DNA sequence: CTGAAAGCGCTTACAG
DNA sequence: CTGAAAGCGCTTACAG
């Protein structure tokens, strides 16, 4: 038995030429329908597997896209991946997935692999510490790259992200409207565009709304439930703790609810908490979490479209597009408690 | 400027032969060190990217492994992936990741892609509904496949999984030792080996320990926080609710704690809850979750070793290995409350 | 130590 | 409608 049959095996078993078999398998009208069927039957019988590497080498086309994200453990990226997959499927493109885990070295290794394996281009949410030079190097090689969720400025690469500053501002306005005047910030401890912009939204809102600008109210940490738990503890230990809390991400906000619960503090009454991203878990958190919903589907689709048109050679200049998020009010926010003595 | 330079571009720019360049780049002792350095410098200068597809086609070797899991949204798989990655890195193998999302059609599409792109073999946690025939078809083509976490029996494929029945049995013994006699089961609603075995462990323990065998105590659902929330509600609504609860997975158990919290039921006092898997979140759940810790690292390493030796042709017969889990007692379990009238 | 030639499994003009 | 030939970018014997 032939281990891995190739076109020539099908051809010889049928008394056809290799070219005829090649065309038949791809439904060329040059081959009579009856012959095509026969070829396909024989291929199936022999257990033929198309060697796409060989075909792509010959044709000079590619059909894989590399996707590199920074933190698989954050559900928001699982959402992004699902949307990217959906968008890619319509273009018959496959996805080569990678998780950098915020490790620039791992990310660099993947970038190399992605190129060596002939991916057509790269969709990347850059790990913290990714430099313009890292990206410029790829671009110089003519390798199409588009960023999503996080942006890298000033290097001529397209980026599609949420309006992070605006999202936090909206969250702050919401709390301000509920009477909160001392509002804490947790998270965004990494040097990424997302962290910078969300914090900028916080600072801007503090100034614009006349809130307490106490720098102690800002606690920087990474994005995980545990970090949210710890950071919120620090905030509540303050001599004069905040009544409202905006978190860099939902994971942090969920961690924050744990801290409150342990201390017998009622979320939505004693303290109001707003998350960011709108992951599924928000609806079954306790209480269900008020959050800033990021339009992951629209961002994913726009990034895929940009990358594909770049790959196709219709490369207009780099574009940066920000998508407006939507505040979703659930039960983790409520009127500020009356001031205490 | 050359768009994507190849060996011949380096060769001609240096007045060398293509073969010399090929050997130099791979540090062959046949090429003088000085020449090697020069070749590498030129390659870097020209922005040369190794075409691994072409090289693998010629050499007849492969360096990618496909990994197909069933649910990326479950953190336990993120853990598995990380361990698989680590094991693979030592063998210079790359990973082509895919999430079937419990969709057999998506999984089938990936299996085809993985073969067409020339992955050396496949590590798979089969989606619900994967048949023996699905696997047999791959095996018939001589395509190396190894399962992990979930097993497919009777088809001559190696599998590495947790001792699921034993794990649940240990959880039940723990609760029994604390005085619980009416213990509920939530989850495992899918037809997978994991679900069957964990439920079997429950049933066996109910019989062996003389617990209440009320079938109402078993609620089947899929694995998510939300499902755990809902299923636990159903259990607590029973005229005679259980005092202990074993969940198919930690995500469910965490959902269960939410239900209890909402109803003012103290977890670890009024009701004891045991999860399964030991994901990171267990330690920052409230209360921290007693769980059955799966040795994901050992399972991942064993599966990778098996697959790689199969790829290398040292294919002993298929082996199935079960790894003994470890009960980790935290604060979600405690003595059964005194029986009520 | 270096180069010319063949070939991995495909596809694509080009003849017949 | 069908086949022989060339070539995608590499690597590997094989001569020199």
Place of tokens 């009454």: A269
- Identify whether residues B188 and B273 lie together within a single domain: yes
Q: What's the rounded Cα separation, in Å, for the pair A318 and A306? A: 9
What are the φ and ψ backbone dihedral angles of B274, each rounded to 5 degrees?
-120, 130
- Identify whether residues B173 and B122 lie together within a single domain: no
Inter-chain touch A53–B49, beta carbons under 8 Å: no
At residue A327, the 3 state secondary structure works out as: strand
Shortest CA to C1' contact from B8: nucleotide: D9
CB atoms within 10 A of CB B193: 17
- Identify whether residues A145 and A197 lie together within a single domain: no
Strand partners, B148: B160
Please name the member of A49, A115, A118 whose beta carbon is closest to the beta carbon of B141: A49
Q: Are A145 and A122 in contact (CB under 8 A)?
A: yes
pLDDT tens digit string along B31-80? 888 888 989 999 998 989 999 999 999 998 899 999 999 998 899 999 99
Q: Are A262 and A276 in contact (CB under 8 A)?
A: no
Give me the domain span that covers residue A41. 7-50
Mean pLDDT of A191-213: 97
pLDDT at A340 over 60: no
Measured to protein CB atoms, the chain C nucleotides within 7 Å are 1-5, 7-13
Q: What's the rounded Cα separation, in Å, for the pair A66 and B94? A: 13
Q: What's the rounded Cα separation, in Å, for the pair B226 and B182? A: 23
**Residue B2: which pLDDT band, with cuts at 50, 70 and 90?**
low
pLDDT tens digit string along A205-232? 999 999 999 999 999 999 999 899 999 9
- Identify whether residues A290 and A168 lie together within a single domain: yes
Listed residue (A263, A253, A244, A311) closest to A287, CA to CA: A253
pLDDT tens digit string along B309-335? 999 888 778 999 999 999 999 999 999
A311 CA vs C12 C1’ separation (Å):
23
A44 touches chain B (CB under 8 A): no
- Identify whether residues B118 and B151 lie together within a single domain: yes
How many Å from the N-terminal Cα to the C-terminal Cα in chain B? 87
Instruction: Kindly list the residues from chain B whose CB atom is less than 8 angstroms away from the CB atom of residue A118.
Output: 51-53
pLDDT tens digit string along B174-228? 999 999 999 999 999 999 999 999 999 999 999 999 999 999 999 999 999 989 9
What are the φ and ψ backbone dihedral angles of A15, each rounded to 5 degrees?
70, 30
CB atoms within 10 A of CB A170: 18
Mean pLDDT of B80-105: 91
- Identify whether residues A308 and A248 lie together within a single domain: no
User: What sign does the CA torsion over B191, B192, B193, B196 have?
Assistant: negative
Q: What's the rounded Cα separation, in Å, for the pair B13 and B35? A: 13
Q: What's the rounded Cα separation, in Å, for the pair B10 and B23? A: 12
Q: What's the rounded Cα separation, in Å, for the pair A176 and B304? A: 54
pLDDT mean across residues, chain A? 93
- Identify whether residues B168 and B290 lie together within a single domain: yes
Residues 155-184 of A with CB under 8 A from B: none
Q: What's the rounded Cα separation, in Å, for the pair B103 and B84? A: 22
Rg from Cα positions in chain B: 26
Model pLDDT, residue A155: 87
Model pLDDT, residue A322: 97
Token duo for residue B196: 């069957």
At residue A95's C-alpha, the angle toward residues B96 and A71, to 5°, is 75
pLDDT, greater one: A2 or A286: A286
Mean pLDDT of A267-289: 93
What is the DSSP secondary-structure string of A43-94?
HHHHT----HHHHHHHHT---EEEEEES-TTSHHHHHHHHHHHHHHHTTT-E
Place of tokens 């979930």: B150
Helix axes A18-25, A33-46, angle to 10 degrees: 90
Inter-chain contacts counted by CB atoms under 8 A, chains A and B: 102
Whether B58 is in a domain gets the answer no
- Identify whether residues B137 and B73 lie together within a single domain: yes
Place of tokens 């961690």: A255
Rg from Cα positions in chain A: 26
Whether B173 is in a domain gets the answer yes
- Identify whether residues B77 and B220 lie together within a single domain: no
Q: Work out the percent of chain B whose per-residue pLDDT is above 90.
A: 74
Q: Are A139 and A131 in contact (CB under 8 A)?
A: no
Whether A341 is in a domain gets the answer no
Nearest CA to CA, how far is B32 from chain A (Å)?
Answer: 26
Whether B336 is in a domain gets the answer no
pLDDT tens digit string along A237-256? 999 999 999 999 999 999 99
Mean pLDDT of A184-213: 97
pLDDT tens digit string along B247-297? 999 999 999 998 998 899 999 999 999 999 999 889 878 889 999 999 999
- Name, of A295-304, A311-320, B29-38, the range with top average pLDDT: A295-304
Residue B40, classified by CB atoms within 10 Å of its CB into exposed (0-12), middle (13-18) or buried (19+), is: middle
User: What sign does the CA torsion over A302, A308, A311, A317 have?
Assistant: negative
Whether A2 is in a domain gets the answer no
Q: What's the rounded Cα separation, in Å, for the pair B173 and A132? A: 57
Own/partner contacts of A36-41, CB < 8 Å, gap of 24 or more, are A38/A14, A39/A10, A39/A14
pLDDT tens digit string along A104-145? 999 999 999 999 998 999 999 999 999 999 998 888 888 999
> Which CATH number characterizes residue B139's domain?
3.40.50.2300
Model pLDDT, residue B206: 98
A17 CA vs D6 C1’ separation (Å):
16
- Does the N-terminal peptide bond of residue B287 adopt cis geometry, omega within 30 degrees of 0? yes
Q: What's the rounded Cα separation, in Å, for the pair B47 and A242? A: 54
Number of domains in chain B: 3
Listed residue (B295, B294, B305) closest to B87, CA to CA: B305
- Identify whether residues B174 and B151 lie together within a single domain: no
Residues 212-271 of A with CB under 8 A from B: 224-226, 229, 255, 258, 261-262
Token duo for residue B295: 């040795």
Model pLDDT, residue A29: 86
> Would you put residue B234 in left (φ > 0), alpha (ψ -120 to 50) or beta?
alpha
Inter-chain touch A53–B117, beta carbons under 8 Å: yes
Mean pLDDT of A166-174: 98
Inter-chain touch A57–B54, beta carbons under 8 Å: yes
Whether A326 is in a domain gets the answer no
Eight-class DSSP state of A217: G
Model pLDDT, residue A314: 80
Model pLDDT, residue A341: 39
SS3 per-residue string spanning B273-285: EEEEECCCHHHHC
Whether A231 is in a domain gets the answer yes
Q: What's the rounded Cα separation, in Å, for the pair A130 and A133? A: 8
Listed residue (A63, A45, A38) closest to A53, CA to CA: A63
CB atoms within 10 A of CB A58: 9
**Which residues 6+ apart lie within 8 Å of B195 measured at CB?**
B187, B188, B189, B248
Inter-chain touch B99–A115, beta carbons under 8 Å: no
Q: What's the rounded Cα separation, in Å, for the pair B73 and B224? A: 9
Whether B341 is in a domain gets the answer no
pLDDT at B138 over 90: no
CB atoms within 10 A of CB B210: 10
pLDDT at B90 over 50: yes
Listed residue (B60, B28, B113) closest to A94, CA to CA: B113
Cα A2 to chain centroid, rounded: 44
Residue A228 CA: distances (Å) to CA of A122, A193, A246, B128, B208: 32, 20, 11, 35, 43
Place of tokens 């086309």: A61
Shortest CA to C1' contact from B5: nucleotide: D9
* Pairing assessment for the beta strands A290-293 and A320-323 based on DSSP bridges: unpaired
B6 CA vs D16 C1’ separation (Å):
26
Mean pLDDT of B90-107: 90
Q: What's the rounded Cα separation, in Å, for the pair A178 and A166? A: 18
Model pLDDT, residue A306: 95
Q: What's the rounded Cα separation, in Å, for the pair B136 and B119? A: 18
Q: What's the rounded Cα separation, in Å, for the pair A167 and A294? A: 9
**Residue B341: which pLDDT band, with cuts at 50, 70 and 90?**
very low
Token duo for residue B292: 């059955």
- Identify whether residues A257 and A291 lie together within a single domain: yes
Eight-class DSSP state of A34: H
Mean pLDDT of A283-287: 84
- Identify whether residues B208 and B95 lie together within a single domain: no
């Amino acid at each position: 038995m032939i281990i891995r049959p190739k076109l020539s095996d099908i051809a010889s078993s049928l008394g056809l030429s290799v070219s005829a078999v090649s065309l038949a398998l791809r439904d060329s009208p040059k081959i009579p329908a009856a012959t095509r069927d026969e070829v396909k039957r024989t291929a199936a019988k022999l257990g033929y597997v198309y060697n796409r590497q060989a075909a792509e080498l010959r044709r000079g086309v590619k059909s894989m896209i590399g996707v590199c994200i920074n933190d698989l453990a954050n559900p928001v990226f699982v959402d992004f991946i699902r949307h990217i997959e959906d968008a890619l499927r319509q273009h018959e493109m496959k996805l080569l997935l990678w998780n950098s885990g915020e490790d620039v070295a791992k990310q660099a290794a993947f970038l190399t692999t992605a190129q060596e394996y002939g991916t057509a281009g790269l969709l990347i949410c850059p790990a913290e510490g990714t430099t313009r030079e890292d990206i410029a190097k790829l671009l110089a090689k003519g390798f199409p790259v588009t960023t999503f969720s996080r942006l890298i400025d000033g290097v001529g690469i397209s980026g599609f992200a949420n309006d992070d500053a605006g999202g936090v501002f909206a969250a702050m306005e919401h709390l301000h409207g509920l009477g909160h005047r001392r509002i804490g910030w947790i998270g965004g401890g990494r040097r990424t565009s997302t962290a910078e912009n969300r914090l900028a939204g916080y600072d801007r809102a503090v100034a614009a709304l006349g809130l307490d600008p106490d720098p102690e109210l800002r606690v920087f940490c990474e994005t995980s439930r545990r970090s949210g738990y710890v950071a919120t503890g620090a905030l509540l230990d303050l001599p004069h703790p905040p009544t409202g809390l905006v978190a860099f991400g939902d994971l942090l906000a969920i961690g924050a609810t744990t801290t409150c619960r342990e201390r017998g503090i009622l979320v939505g009454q004693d303290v109001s908490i707003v998350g960011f991203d709108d992951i599924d878990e928000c609806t079954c958190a306790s209480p269900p979490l008020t959050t800033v919903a990021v339009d992951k589907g629209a961002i994913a689709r726009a990034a895929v479209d940009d990358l594909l048109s770049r790959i196709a050679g219709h490369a207009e200049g780099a574009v940066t597009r920000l998508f407006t998020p939507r505040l979703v009010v659930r039960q983790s926010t409520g009127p500020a408690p009356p001031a205490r003595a």
